[in-house]
């Protein structure tokens, strides 16, 4: 097991390096850079942009340098000082921007995860054990609806209903009165009052997917001879299901843990954008749109590294859950 983990960790080093190169290349691929975006914006605002101003900006942002120099500058600062560089667009250190938005992003992602699991797990279990029952049809239909309707549409509808019937202040995670207040019980309650919208929106699609996966896996297992044998020996039904079939059916839950970590950072960009949430998703989107190199690069790099780490964690968990994974290592 230890060698398995060690080898996986070693694989991660070149992977992360390659990811960083690819990230930087991708961000630099589209024509123009932050400056052209800025100029396009300024022109649209009726601001006259002259050659002198352009030269000043180019010098200020160091955009005239060759790409590999820009890359080396960026990656060495991260590697040596954990300095993610300066965001052009916000004129602030990237690290500050992340520090400000990460906590709420993580709170939202974890709440969504718990919501998804709390719903999907019992429902999946129920609809497998009681296949083709009324409850099975009811739950899975609702699940399908959640899966089929685009998230941003649910978000818009919920927001409109909130505005139309409850006079809710739409968008964001806090009411205006609490937005710059310090944390106290009132602020937490206020947060909870707003958090349910994105959680429900984000949770619906994931829930439906997990219900299907759990249901199908469990159905497969329940028909296997060992279950029949156990049942024949008179073991209680509940124990039969929970002891082995459920454990195996949980495999997809565990193997997707790896995707949860990056989700904590990138969140659901579109939903966060539509709901104007103060999370990292909209930050990434606007950074990409305006080619804010260091900000976009850092976010993608962090998300990628978290994916790599998450995959490692889920591999370890899988190896623990399912001995066959470990055996391949011998």
Partner 1 sequence: MTGNLGSRRDISRKDFLALGGVLAGASLLPGCSAFSMDPDTADRSRSGRKAGAAPAKGKEAPMLAARVKAGSLPPVDKRLPANPRVIQPLERAGVYGGTWRTVEASTDPSWLWMTVCHDHLISWDPTWSKIIPNVAESYEIRGDGREYVFKLRAGMKWSDGQLFTADDLLFWYEKIYLNKEITPVLPSTLQINGKPLVVEKQDDHTVTFRFPEPNAVFLQNLAIHGPPFRLLPRHYLEQFHKDSNPGLGDDWAQKFLEKIDELNNVDLPVITGWVPKNPHGDGDRQVWERNPYYFKVDPDGSQLPYIDKVVFTFFQEQGPLILQAANGDVDLYMRAEVTTPKNRPVLARGQKNGGYKLVKVKDPTHNTIGICLNLTHEDPDKRKMFQNKDFRIGLSHAINRPQIIDLVFLGQGVPWQTAPRPEVPFYKSDDMGKQYTEYDLGLARQHLEKAGYARTDARGRRLGADGRPIVISVLIQSRYPVMIDAMEFVKGTWAKVGVELRIDTASPELVGTRMDANKYDCTLDVGEIGYVDMLTDPRWLFATGGSSYAPLWSRWYEGGAPKEEPPEAMRRQAAIYRQKVVGTSDVDTQYAGIREIIEIARDEFWTMGISRPASSYAIVSDRIHNVPGDDKMWLAFKCPYPAVTNISQYYLEGE
Q: Which residues would be at the binding site for partner 1 (CB under 8 A)?
A: 30-32, 36-37, 39-41, 43-53, 55-56, 59-60, 86-87, 89-92, 96-97, 100-101, 156, 159-160, 163, 167, 169-172, 176-187, 189, 273-276, 278, 282-283, 285-286, 291
Shortest distance, position 92 Cβ to partner 1, whole Å: 4
Smaller CB distance to partner 1: residue 3 or 48?
48
Shortest distance, position 321 Cβ to partner 1, whole Å: 31
CA-CA distance, 88 to 61, in Å (whole number)?
A: 8
Nearest to 267, CA basis, from 122, 125, 106: 106
Nearest to 210, CA basis, from 249, 244, 239: 249
**Look-up of token digits 């101003």:** 53
Shortest distance, position 23 Cβ to partner 1, whole Å: 19
Both tokens of 276, joined, read: 């104007």
CA-CA distance, 104 to 264, in Å (whole number)?
A: 10
Smaller CB distance to partner 1: residue 229 or 289?
289
Smaller CB distance to partner 1: residue 81 or 238?
81
Sign of the four-CA dihedral 230, 234, 238, 243: negative
Question: SS3 for 174?
Answer: coil
Shortest distance, position 166 Cβ to partner 1, whole Å: 10
Smaller CB distance to partner 1: residue 100 or 131?
100
Smaller CB distance to partner 1: residue 40 or 138?
40
Half-sphere exposure of 41 (CA within 13 A, CB side): 10
Q: DSSP assignment, residue 288? A: H
User: With contact defined as beta carbons under 8 Å apart, do 102 and 266 qualify?
Assistant: no
Shortest distance, position 42 Cβ to partner 1, whole Å: 8
């Amino acid at each position: 097991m230890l060698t398995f983990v060690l080898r996986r960790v070693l694989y991660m080093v070149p992977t992360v390096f390659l990811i960083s190169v690819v990230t930087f290349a991708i961000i630099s691929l589209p024509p123009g850079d932050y400056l052209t975006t800025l100029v396009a914006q300024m022109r649209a605002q009726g601001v006259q942009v002259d050659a002198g101003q352009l030269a000043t900006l180019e010098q200020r942002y160091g955009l005239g340098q060759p790409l590999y120099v820009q890359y080396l500058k960026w990656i060495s600062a991260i590697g040596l000082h954990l300095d993610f560089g300066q965001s052009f667009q916000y004129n602030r250190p990237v690290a500050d921007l992340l520090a400000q938005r990460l906590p709420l992003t993580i709170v939202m992602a974890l709440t969504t995860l718990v919501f998804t699991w709390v719903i999907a797990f019992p429902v999946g279990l129920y609809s497998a054990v009681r296949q083709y029952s009324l409850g099975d049809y009811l739950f899975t239909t609702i699940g399908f609806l959640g899966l089929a309707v685009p998230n941003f549409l649910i978000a818009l509808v919920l927001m409109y209903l909130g505005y139309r019937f409850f006079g809710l202040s739409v968008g964001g995670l806090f009411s205006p009165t609490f937005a710059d207040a310090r944390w106290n019980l009132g602020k937490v309650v206020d947060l909870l009052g707003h958090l349910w919208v994105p959680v429900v929106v984000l949770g619906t699609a994931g829930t439906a997917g997990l219900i299907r996966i759990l249901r199908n896996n469990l159905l497969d297992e329940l028909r296997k001879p060992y279950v029949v044998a156990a049942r024949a020996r008179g073991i209680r039904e509940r124990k039969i299901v929970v002891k082995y079939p459920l454990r195996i059916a949980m495999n997809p839950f565990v193997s997707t843990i790896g995707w949860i970590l990056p989700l904590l950072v990138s969140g659901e960009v579109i939903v966060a954008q539509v709901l104007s949430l103060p999370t990292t998703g909209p930050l990434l989107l606007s950074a990409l749109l305006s080619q804010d190199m260091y900000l976009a690069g850092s976010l993608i790099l962090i998300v990628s590294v978290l994916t790599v780490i998450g995959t490692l964690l889920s591999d370890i968990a899988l190896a623990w859950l399912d001995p066959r994974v470990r055996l391949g290592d011998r």
